[in-house]
């Protein structure tokens, strides 16, 4: 009648992968536990469900943040609190800080990790949006095969990407000038997002030309739209663009209500409007 039958604190990536191989059916990586533990607590009294927790957050190399050439490299076990206070992230990826700050509570952010957020298997995971908008690459390490993939591939692979593999690092390309806008709707304070949108233009010094837009949320894995254009920033053209994007998302989605369309249009509109109003965000 117990769900966690064993706890292993991994000191290295190799040790974590070996523990996973040794516990094929029951092994689960544990980072901050803020996504995993509420589920395990609920399952605690269900007979027959067992887990071996393989704690990866003490692995030295997974807790670093550094600049490598023109990329910011963030270890998967960096907590959200560390992320929001780190000088390199504040300087080179402020959009990550903006989003990380709205996740959960202080207590949650003191434990929750960037890697755990991306690997939680939940489309509402807030950091999926900025990592996708920033064209981040993810480094997974498998027993005998390290693999770097873009966010689109990661999302397309779903659970397969993180089965038997550990996310070790997130590589974020650094652009000299990044402008962005972000909007998020949650139904309660500290609530997971219902719908969120992030609009971003990188490396443009003149007028805004080509916008990347990511929209995601409840039952909606992030979708990335590129090559979007807004005329002179008139409110009308932003609204038209927001409506066009949302109708594209809604097409073919079962159970997508008028309410969801209206809230999605508002959120996308707000993200685009903030982008238009912002000089390069710092």
Ligand X SMILES: Cc1cc2nc3c(=O)[nH]c(=O)nc-3n(C[C@H](O)[C@H](O)[C@H](O)COP(=O)(O)OP(=O)(O)OC[C@H]3O[C@@H](n4cnc5c(N)ncnc54)[C@H](O)[C@@H]3O)c2cc1C
Cβ atoms of 36 and 82 within 8 Å: the answer is no
Cβ atoms of 200 and 275 within 8 Å: the answer is yes
Cβ atoms of 114 and 127 within 8 Å: the answer is yes
Query: Looking at 38-46, 114-122, 148-156, 194-202, which segment touches other proteins (CB under 8 A)?
Result: 38-46
Rounded to whole angstroms, how far apart are CA atoms 169 and 171? 6
Interface residue with other proteins, options 55, 126, 270, 273 (CB under 8 A): 55
CB of 120 to ligand X, least distance (A): 4
Helices (H), the chain: 13-22, 36-43, 80-85, 87-92, 94-100, 106-111, 114-118, 128-133, 151-157, 159-162, 235-250, 258-277
CB closer to other proteins, 189 vs 207: 189
Residue 231: φ, ψ to 5°: -55, -115
CB of 159 to other proteins, least distance (A): 22
Interaction mask 187-206, other proteins, x per CB under 8 A: --xx----------------
Interface residue with other proteins, options 28, 33, 173, 237 (CB under 8 A): 33
CA distances from 173 to 44, 88, 132, 212, 256 (A): 42, 13, 11, 15, 35
Q: Which does 110 bind (CB under 5 to 8 A by kind): ligand X, other proteins, none?
A: other proteins
CB of 163 to other proteins, least distance (A): 22
Query: Looking at 146-154, 161-169, 219-227, 248-256, which segment touches ligand X (CB under 6 A)?
Result: 161-169
Residues numbered 62-121 forming contacts with other proteins, rule: CB under 8 A: 81, 104-108, 110-111
SS3 (DSSP) at 97: helix
Chain residues that interact with ligand X, rule: CB under 6 A? 28-36, 38, 56, 76, 103-104, 108, 111-113, 115-117, 119-120, 124-126, 162, 166-167, 190, 192
């Amino acid at each position: 009648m117990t769900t966690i039958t064993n706890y292993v604190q991994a000191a290295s990536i190799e040790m974590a992968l070996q523990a996973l191989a040794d516990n094929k059916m029951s092994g689960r990586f544990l980072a901050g536990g803020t996504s995993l533990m509420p589920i395990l607590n609920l399952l605690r009294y269900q007979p027959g469900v067992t887990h071996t927790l393989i704690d990866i957050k003490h692995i030295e190399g997974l807790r670093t943040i550094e600049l490598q050439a023109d990329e910011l490299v963030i270890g998967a076990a960096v907590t959200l609190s560390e992320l929001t206070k780190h000088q390199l992230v504040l300087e080179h990826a402020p959009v990550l800080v903006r989003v990380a700050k709205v996740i959960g509570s202080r207590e949650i952010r003191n434990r929750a990790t960037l890697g755990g957020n991306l690997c939680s298997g939940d489309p509402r995971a807030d950091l999926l949006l900025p990592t996708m908008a920033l064209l981040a690459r993810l480094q997974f390490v498998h027993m005998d095969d390290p693999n770097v993939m873009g966010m689109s591939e990661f999302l397309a692979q779903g659970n397969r990407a993180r089965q038997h593999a550990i996310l070790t690092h997130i590589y974020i390309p650094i652009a000299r000038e990044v402008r962005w806008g972000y909007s998020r709707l949650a139904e309660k304070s500290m609530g997971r997002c219902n719908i969120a949108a992030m609009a971003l233009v990188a490396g443009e010094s003149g007028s805004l030309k080509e916008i990347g837009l990511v929209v995601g949320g409840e039952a909606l894995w992030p979708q990335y739209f590129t090559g979007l254009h807004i005329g002179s920033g008139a409110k009308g053209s932003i609204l038209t663009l927001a409506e066009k994007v949302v109708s594209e998302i809604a097409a073919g989605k079962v159970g997508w209500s008028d309410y969801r369309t209206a809230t999605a249009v508002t959120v996308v509109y707000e993200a685009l409007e903030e982008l238009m109003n912002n000089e390069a965000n710092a």
